[in-house]
């Protein structure tokens, strides 16, 4: 049935909710990327089979749903049983019969599968009480984990497309843009450009043929929020795109999806077909006579294609290299036509803003950064996963609240935000409210929402070097400062981590970084020195240690670090012996162990595995110890 009026939509939603309510229980199995890798598909299949076998499907009306990413990837595969709201973590297919018997049929919980809060060691029964979820506010991710992404009826039961119905049937395009403007929505791809300004410029631009583009070429190391949104709730993205297209007067749209995201392509394709059948997309949308359709374009595997001008060139079928332009894409973008390009998350926010109103959205966040923002929380943090929280939450709340603190309760050192274009924020700034302005002031940026938490066993020089080595592969090579600058910057860093650093290296890095920032053609090159400059700004002493003392304070640079076992503290647990990949440790159980320096490759496996504080220690390989001995 095609939807052509608000009443028809309400009827569809009423029936969808009725249908959902008929399921007395729903078993939500996370089938996001992380859980899939941990075997959640087998868990879902086991549930379907087991419920059938026990006759629970008909009798109790229980239904298994394969949802998108629940976010708490660290503990996957995740299973939530609704309406009780019981969350089971790390569920295996063999747990399924017990769950069906005790929880689904019996209504009791299985303590061993519940999440254990490391803070008080207590098992948490309810999904919403797990700190990881309790501290989140979900806007773009509002339906992820709740709906079956391949079922539009299920999505509609959760208000999908309601924003479009309201926008197109009750408002004018100008009012829609006004609503987005009042909401304060800014680009979620990282630059934070005011969305409504883009839309208005495109609407006012001359020309009949206009485009809207969705940037799904998420490529930052450690970032996966766009992926999860496209996979887990493709309707929110599509709804936003159609609203945007209608507001600016575009009839053609593209979703540029990173080629490494096959499930996103599949789920978007299904959603597009279902939306067309319902009259939300295609010809004569909602019976208004407005035509708009969208094409999925799979990326070519280049990080730089996430840069808007390169993305558009790639869409045009040309080499995905950025173009220097002194006109806005809203005047001359894709195929030189007025174009609005927004990030996946930005589009996903739009429908919710229209549905709940600008004031609701603007009620969250800080003065200039409104709403909520999705992040991929990864690194040395206890609870890694996908989160969405109101702008302005502090890094401390994120790392220690939602994230649960650092693995093994080691000291926090820094959090890297914004991917290769971002920077590292040190411990002193843990109380920094996370919004566009504060992160930029701190020398980092919002970026696409990657948050990599680092502990004391992270060498900041090596971190900067890692991002350089990433970018050197991904620079398109068109302009000299980025291509040659990254190459030479990496030469300097290779020397630093190998103990060949020279006095003056820091100054050379700074000069080169300034040249790259000012001289590069696109944002990739201009922002490439950010990891370098932010680590220099906050961790200069580590650089100096590498250069002048030939030492790596974190003990991570192998060429600079040696390990030894302190005989008085070693209790002979033998773990280091087992962990050593180079057979450099000798010793028998319950006897003192020894590291043989000539064989040791300084990997630090013994240090990381040793349960006795201080029994394995590292020292600079620079000969200082030998000199001391003399």
Partner 1 sequence: MVTLTIDGRVAKVPAGATVLDAARAIGVRIPTLCQHEALEPWGGCRLCLVDVTKKEWRGWQKMVVSCMFPAEDGLAVATATERVVATRKVVLDLLLARCPDTPLVQRLAHEHGIERTSYQPNPEPTDCVLCGLCTRVCDSIGVSAIATVDRGAGKEVAPPFHQPPPDCIGCLACAEVCPTDCIPYQTSDSARSIWGKTFTMVRCPHCGRAHITREQAAFYAGRGGVPESYFETCDACKRTQMAKTFTSLSAVR
CA 52 to CA 57: how far, in whole Å? Answer: 6
* End-to-end CA, the chain: 88
| CA proximity to 348, closest of 627, 159, 191, 489 | 159
**Minimum gap (Å) between residue 475 Cβ and partner 1:** 4
**Minimum gap (Å) between residue 322 Cβ and partner 1:** 9
How many alpha carbons fall within 13 Å on the CB side of residue 580?
24
519 is a contact residue toward partner 1 (CB under 8 A)? yes
Cβ–Cβ under 8 Å, residues 231 and 267: yes
Q: How many helices (H) and strands (E) does the chain have?
A: 27, 20
Residues 205-264 that bind partner 1 (CB under 8 A): none
179 is a contact residue toward partner 1 (CB under 8 A)? no
Contacts of 204 (CB under 8 A, 6+ apart): none
Nearer to partner 1, 477 or 572 (CB): 477
**Minimum gap (Å) between residue 511 Cβ and partner 1:** 7
502 is a contact residue toward partner 1 (CB under 8 A)? no
Q: Which stretch, 104-112, 187-195, 316-324, 536-544, contacts partner 1 (CB under 8 A)?
A: 316-324
CA 380 to CA 405: how far, in whole Å? Answer: 9
Q: How many residues of this chain interact with partner 1, rule: CB under 8 A?
A: 34
CA 284 to CA 297: how far, in whole Å? Answer: 23
Site track 528-567 with partner 1 (rule: CB under 8 A), x = hit:
----------------------------------------
508 is a contact residue toward partner 1 (CB under 8 A)? yes
How many alpha carbons fall within 13 Å on the CB side of residue 556?
15
Q: Which stretch, 135-143, 342-350, 480-488, 560-568, contacts partner 1 (CB under 8 A)?
A: 480-488
3-state SS track over 365-404: ECCCCECEEEEEEEECECCCEEEEEECCCEHHHHHHHHCC
> Is it true that the peptide bond before 570 is cis, omega within 30 degrees of 0?
no
Cβ–Cβ under 8 Å, residues 253 and 338: no
The residue from 94, 111, 317, 324 that contacts partner 1 (CB under 8 A) is 324
335 is a contact residue toward partner 1 (CB under 8 A)? no
Burial 323-340 (b: 16+ CB within 10 A, else e): eeeeeebbbbbbeebbbb
314 is a contact residue toward partner 1 (CB under 8 A)? no
Cβ–Cβ under 8 Å, residues 83 and 25: yes
| Residue 311 in tokens | 């993305």
520 is a contact residue toward partner 1 (CB under 8 A)? yes
Nearer to partner 1, 278 or 478 (CB): 478
| Residue 278 in tokens | 């319902």
472 is a contact residue toward partner 1 (CB under 8 A)? yes
Nearer to partner 1, 97 or 519 (CB): 519
Q: Which stretch, 269-277, 321-329, 537-545, 585-593, contacts partner 1 (CB under 8 A)?
A: 321-329
Q: Which stretch, 266-274, 361-369, 475-483, 551-559, contacts partner 1 (CB under 8 A)?
A: 475-483
483 is a contact residue toward partner 1 (CB under 8 A)? yes
CA 71 to CA 227: how far, in whole Å? Answer: 12
Q: Which stretch, 151-159, 362-370, 400-408, 470-478, contacts partner 1 (CB under 8 A)?
A: 470-478
The residue from 516, 605, 606, 615 that contacts partner 1 (CB under 8 A) is 516
The residue from 1, 134, 277, 514 that contacts partner 1 (CB under 8 A) is 514
477 is a contact residue toward partner 1 (CB under 8 A)? yes
479 is a contact residue toward partner 1 (CB under 8 A)? yes
Contacts of 542 (CB under 8 A, 6+ apart): 459, 460, 461, 535, 552, 553, 554
The residue from 191, 194, 480, 575 that contacts partner 1 (CB under 8 A) is 480
Nearer to partner 1, 45 or 484 (CB): 484
302 is a contact residue toward partner 1 (CB under 8 A)? yes
**Minimum gap (Å) between residue 478 Cβ and partner 1:** 5
Contacts of 447 (CB under 8 A, 6+ apart): 190, 220, 223, 417, 418, 419, 421, 422
> Which residue ranges make up the site for partner 1 (CB under 8 A)?
302, 304, 319, 323-324, 326, 471-481, 483-488, 491, 508, 511-512, 514-516, 518-521
């Amino acid at each position: 049935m095609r939807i052509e009026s608000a009443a028809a939509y309400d009827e569809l939603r009423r029936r969808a909710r009725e249908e959902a309510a008929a399921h007395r229980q729903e078993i939500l199995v996370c089938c996001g990327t992380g859980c899939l890798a941990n075997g959640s598909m087998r868990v879902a299949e086991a549930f379907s089979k087991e419920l059938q076998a026990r006759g629970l499907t008909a009798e109790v009306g229980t239904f298994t749903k394969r949802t998108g990413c629940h976010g708490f990837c660290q503990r996957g595969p995740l299973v939530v049983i609704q309406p009780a709201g019981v969350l089971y973590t790390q569920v295996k297919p063999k747990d399924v019969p017990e769950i069906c018997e005790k929880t689904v049929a019996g209504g009791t919980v299985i303590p061993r599968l519940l999440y254990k809060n490391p803070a008080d060691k207590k098992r948490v029964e309810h999904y919403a009480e797990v700190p990881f979820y309790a501290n989140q506010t979900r806007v773009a991710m509002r339906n992820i984990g709740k709906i079956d992404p391949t079922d539009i009826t299920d999505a509609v039961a959760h208000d999908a497309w309601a924003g479009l119905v309201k926008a197109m049937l009750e408002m004018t395009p100008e009012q829609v843009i006004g609503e987005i403007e009042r909401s304060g929505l800014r680009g979620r791809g990282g630059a934070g450009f005011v969305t409504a300004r883009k839309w208005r410029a495109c609407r006012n631009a001359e020309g009949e043929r206009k485009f809207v583009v969705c940037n799904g070429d998420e490529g930052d190391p450690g970032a996966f929020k766009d992926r999860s949104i496209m996979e887990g709730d493709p309707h929110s993205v599509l709804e936003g795109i159609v609203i945007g297209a209608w507001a600016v007067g575009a009839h053609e749209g593209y979703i540029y999806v990173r080629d490494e995201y096959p499930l996103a392509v599949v789920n978007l394709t299904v959603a597009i077909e279902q939306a067309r059948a319902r009259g939300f997309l295609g010809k004569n949308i909602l019976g208004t006579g407005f035509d708009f359709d969208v094409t999925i374009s799979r990326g070519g595997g280049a990080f730089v294609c996430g840069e808007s001008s390169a993305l558009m060139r790639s869409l045009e079928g040309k080499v995905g290299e950025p173009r220097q332009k002194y006109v806005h894409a809203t005047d001359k973008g894709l195929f030189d036509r007025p174009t609005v390009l927004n990030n996946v998350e930005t589009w996903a926010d739009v429908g919710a803003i229209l549905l709940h109103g600008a004031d609701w959205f603007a009620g969250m966040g800080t003065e200039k950064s409104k709403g909520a923002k999705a992040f991929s929380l990864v690194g040395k943090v206890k609870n890694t996963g996908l989160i969405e929280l109101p702008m302005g939450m502090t890094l401390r709340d994120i790392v220690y609240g939602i994230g649960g603190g650092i693995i093994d309760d080691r000291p926090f050192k820094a959090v890297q935000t914004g991917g290769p274009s971002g920077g590292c924020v040190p411990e002193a700034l843990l109380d920094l409210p996370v919004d566009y302005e504060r992160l930029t002031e701190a020398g980092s940026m919002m970026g696409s929402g990657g948050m990599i938490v680092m502990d004391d066993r992270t060498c900041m020089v090596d971190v900067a070097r890692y991002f350089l080595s990433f970018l050197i592969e991904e620079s398109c090579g068109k302009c000299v400062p980025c291509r040659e600058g990254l190459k030479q910057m990496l030469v300097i860093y290779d020397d630093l981590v190998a103990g060949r650093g020279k006095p003056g290296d820091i100054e050379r890095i700074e000069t080169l970084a300034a040249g790259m920032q000012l001289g590069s053609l696109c944002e990739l090159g201009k922002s490439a020195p950010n990891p370098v400059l932010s680590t220099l700004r906050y961790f200069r002493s580590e650089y100096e240690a590498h250069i002048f003392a030939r030492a790596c304070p974190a003990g991570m640079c192998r060429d600079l670090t040696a390990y030894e076992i302190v005989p008085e503290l070693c209790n002979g647990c033998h773990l280091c012996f087992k962990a050593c990949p180079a057979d450099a440790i000798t010793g028998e159980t319950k006897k003192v162990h020894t590291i043989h320096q000539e064989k040791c490759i300084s990997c630090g496996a013994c240090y990381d595995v040793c349960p006795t504080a201080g029994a394995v220690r590292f020292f600079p390989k620079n000969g200082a110890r030998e000199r001391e001995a003399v």
